[in-house]
């Protein structure tokens, strides 16, 4: 990551296991927002959902999304990111990603309520970044 | 509030001075998300912005919005609300509302960076409520 990158000032918020709030668009055009796990590979913000869930359907229909990550240690510090889902994958890689997220957030292997759910992994390319604090 | 209300289980999150993440819709149809102060009068979730800001323009154009409020004391507990801006006011009542929010969140009077900003107050009617935890 280039030190001049707009993400640089908020890079710590992408590295820490904080919940992101993801905004997507419903089929009727209204916004939807939900907290979820994420990680950042230096290029993409990566999130994971069960196939068929609202946010899965929304991101397949409308790839433009927004994210907010609040700093849990500094009041009113946060980053806002608008971006686009540029890649969606299922299969082993998506399953490995939810295991990785579970380790990142809980220190334990993923223990799904519904083990038969098909996991889906989304790669979000940040396009507009701003923040406060 | 009726005890059978879907909001009842998460009423404490509306009463406490937590940041809400508000999702609105940009003029190009993409989602936008931003943290902000709010309060709840038992019927409407009320937020406040400076006239002309992105979220002001977005809510005037598209009244459908979504909110997430994370519990800062119980991990993974949160409420998601989809709703509609049903009233927008300016003038003294909007100014008094930002003073009230400032007291609620900081214990101090509102001390604006731009005192000449016109304040706007939005009344959001909750239409769909869900949560976790």
Q: For A39-72, write each residue's pLDDT tens digit.
A: 999 999 999 999 999 999 999 999 999 999 999 9
What are phi and psi for residue A67, nearest 5 degrees?
-135, 145
For residue B107, the 8-state DSSP code is: S
- In this prediction the pTM is 0.94
Beta bridge partners, B130, equal: B80
CA distance A31 to B44: 18
What are phi and psi for residue B85, nearest 5 degrees?
-75, 115
CB atoms A78 and B35 under 8 Å: yes
* Contacts with B126 (C-beta within 8 Å, 6 or more apart), sequence order: B7, B45, B81, B82, B83
pLDDT tens across B91-108, in order?
999 999 999 999 999 999
Mean pLDDT computed over A8-31? 96
Mutation choice for A interface testing from B10, B16, B21 by most A CBs within 10 A: B21
Instruction: Give the lowest-confidence range in A2-6, A25-29, A78-82, B71-75.
Output: A2-6
- pLDDT, residue A112, reads 85
- pLDDT, residue B43, reads 96
Does the beta carbon of B102 lie under 8 angstroms from any beta carbon of chain A? no
Distance from CA of A93 to the nearest CA of B (A): 25
Which 36-65 residues of chain A touch chain B by CB within 8 A?
A: 62, 64-65
- pLDDT, residue A5, reads 64
Q: Give the closest of A21, A29, A62 to B33, CB-based.
A: A21
Strand pairing category for B31-36 and A20-25: unpaired
Q: Which residues of chain B have pLDDT under 50?
A: 1-4
> What chain A residue is nearest to B22 in terms of C-alpha separation?
A33
* Contacts with A14 (C-beta within 8 Å, 6 or more apart), sequence order: A7, A38, A40, A45, A69, A79
Does the beta carbon of B67 lie under 8 angstroms from any beta carbon of chain A? yes
Could you please report the per-residue DSSP string of A95-109? HHHHHHHHHHHHSS-
Q: Give the closest of B32, B65, B82 to A82, CB-based.
A: B32
User: Which residue has 């003073």 as its token pair?
Assistant: B99
Q: What is the total residue count of chain A? A: 133
Q: Which CATH architecture has domain A8-132?
A: Roll (2.30)
CA distance B65 to B73: 25
């Amino acid at each position: 990551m280039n030190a001049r990158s707009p993400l640089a000032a908020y890079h710590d918020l992408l590295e820490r296991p904080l919940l992101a709030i993801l905004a997507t668009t419903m089929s009727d055009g209204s916004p939807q927002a939900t907290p979820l796990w994420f990680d950042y590979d230096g290029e993409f913000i990566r999130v994971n959902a069960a196939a068929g869930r609202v946010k899965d359907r929304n991101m397949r229909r409308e790839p433009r999304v927004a994210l907010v990550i609040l700093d849990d240690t500094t009041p009113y510090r946060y980053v806002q990111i608008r971006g686009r889902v540029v890649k969606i994958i299922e299969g082993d890689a998506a399953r490995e990603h939810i295991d990785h997220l579970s380790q990142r957030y809980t220190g334990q292997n993923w223990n799904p309520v519904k083990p038969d759910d098909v996991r889906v992994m989304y790669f979000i390319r940040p396009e507009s970044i701003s923040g406060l604090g």
